[in-house]
Structure 1
Amino acid sequence: MKVEVKTLDAGKAGDVELNDAVFGIEPRADILHRVVTWQLEKRRAPARATRERSDVARTGKKFGRQKGGGTARHGDRRAPIFIGGGKAHGARARTFGHELNKKVRALGLKMALSAKAKAGSLTVLDNLDVKDGKTKALAGQLEKLGLNKALFIDGDAINVSFAKASSNLVGVNVLPAVGANVYDILRADALVLTRAAVEKLEARFNG
């Protein structure tokens, strides 16, 4: 699949050949759903468990008399009503994540990239260099390209000038190639890859 490469100034910078094994496969809703569900569950933080009656270290010896003491007939100090006692109905430690085969995760990412290419929402830029890292200049460039709301994926590292200029632009997100993921790609209105990102993503699957 041949795609035109543009510059941030809306100029042309040649063409790039996209690997059909990465950008040209037919997306499947069930695979994408499985990967997104796995990814979102992995983000959930488990609750910290509280110590209940069986977890606290307090004496279990009966204190006080059964009758005549003028107080209730308590059996041990681990009861929740005492200072230092166990928590009643406390939070339990839970994990929400589940395992997903690496091949399925890789296939899901390929399908997400292919879905954007198939929908015409994929743009390839030569690089993300922004002169002086000015937000106003970048906003004007993105307006010309029609990329006001998009996910930008760069190569090994995020372009510093672009990251600085886009930090205050709502709807513009940027990731390194290693951070490319199904959830962020699918929820973005448009996907923008640099030449370096294309090379890294194709090498990631071919390697």
Structure 2
Amino acid sequence: MKVQVKNLDASSAGDIELNDEVFGIEPRADILHRVVTWQLEKRRGTARGTRERSDVARSGKKLGRQKGGGVARHGDRRAPVFVGGGKAHGARVRDFNPSLNKKVRALGLKMALSAKAKDGSLIVLSALDVEAGKTKALAERFAGLGIGGKALVIDGDALNVSFALASGNLPGVNLMPAVGANVYDILKHDTLVLTRAAIEKLEARFNG
């Protein structure tokens, strides 16, 4: 698949041949759904479980006789009504650490990249240099490129410092290195912007 490479000023910087095994796969909703669900589940932290009545180390001996004492009847000190007793209906420990096959995860990322390439929301830039790291200059460049809404910009190993400074105050624009590319972030943005370095890293990631 051949895609035009642009500069930030919307001028042409030639073409680049994208690997069809990475950017030319037919997306499948079931695979993308599995990977996104796995990602969101992995983000959840395991809640600390509270100690319930059976977990509290207190005597199980009955406090007093059942009747005739003039006070409420109780079984033991582990009841939730007592200070130091067990928590009633407390939080339970739940494990949010699902597993997903590596090949399925890799296939999901390829399909997410292919989906953006297929619907025309993929833009390839030669470089991300912004004059003096000015937000106004970058906003004008994005308007010239037709980038609106939420945009995910993926660079190579090292992030461009001037672009990071300029994009910090632009709402909806997120920047990440190629190693952080993931299905959820790609799909939730309207536009995917890749640099030449990012494409090289992504293709090497799958071919390696």
Length-normalised TM-score, structure 2: 0.93
What residue identity is the alignment partner of 1:202? Answer: E
Match of 1:103 in 2: 103
Q: Secondary structure at the match of 2:194?
A: strand
2:173 paired with 1:168 = no
Match of 1:203 in 2: 204
CA drift of 1:93 comes to 1.1
What residue identity is the alignment partner of 2:13? Answer: A
Mapped partners of 1:135, 1:69: distance in 2: 77
Q: Secondary structure at the match of 1:75?
A: coil
Q: Secondary structure at the match of 1:132?
A: helix
Q: Secondary structure at the match of 1:144?
A: helix
What residue identity is the alignment partner of 2:79? Answer: A
Length-normalised TM-score, structure 1: 0.93
2:5 paired with 1:5 = yes
CA drift of 1:62 comes to 2.9
Match of 2:61 in 1: 61
Mapped partners of 1:76, 1:158: distance in 2: 62
Match of 2:135 in 1: 135
Q: Secondary structure at the match of 1:50?
A: coil
Match of 2:155 in 1: 154
Mapped partners of 1:31, 1:75: distance in 2: 54
What residue identity is the alignment partner of 2:200? Answer: E
Residue by residue over 1:20-69, the C-alpha shift from the partner in whole angstroms, topping out at 9 and shown as x without a partner, is 11111111122112111222222233332111011112222333444443
Moved more, 9-18 or 122-131: 9-18
2:193 paired with 1:192 = yes
CA drift of 1:184 comes to 1.3
Mapped partners of 1:187, 1:67: distance in 2: 65
Match of 2:39 in 1: 39
Q: Secondary structure at the match of 1:87?
A: coil
Q: Is the CA contact (8 Å cut-off) linking 1:152 and 1:193 kept in structure 2? A: yes
List runs of 5+ in structure 1 lacking aligned partners: none
CA drift of 1:199 comes to 0.6
What residue identity is the alignment partner of 1:23? Answer: F
Residue by residue over 1:111-166, the C-alpha shift from the partner in whole angstroms, topping out at 9 and shown as x without a partner, is 11111111111111111121211111111111101113311111113222212211
